[in-house]
Structure 1
Amino acid sequence: MITVKVTYTVKSEFVQQNLENINGFMQDFKEMKHVPFRYNVYLLEDGKTFLHLAHYQNEAAQKQILAVPSFKLFQERRDASDIGHSHKVEIMKTVDVSTDIFG
Structure 2
Amino acid sequence: MIQNIHEKIFTDLHISKDQLLSDMALLLARQQLSEYSMEVDYYEKKYGKDFQEFDKMFRSLKASYEMENDWMSWKFAAETREYWQNIVGNIKNDY
**What TM-score comes out, normalization by structure 2 length?**
0.35
Bigger-Rg structure (1/2) = 2
**What TM-score comes out, normalization by structure 1 length?**
0.33
User: Higher relative contact order by CA 8 Å / sep ≥ 6: 1 or 2?
Assistant: 1
Larger helix share, 1 or 2: 2
Larger strand share, 1 or 2: 1
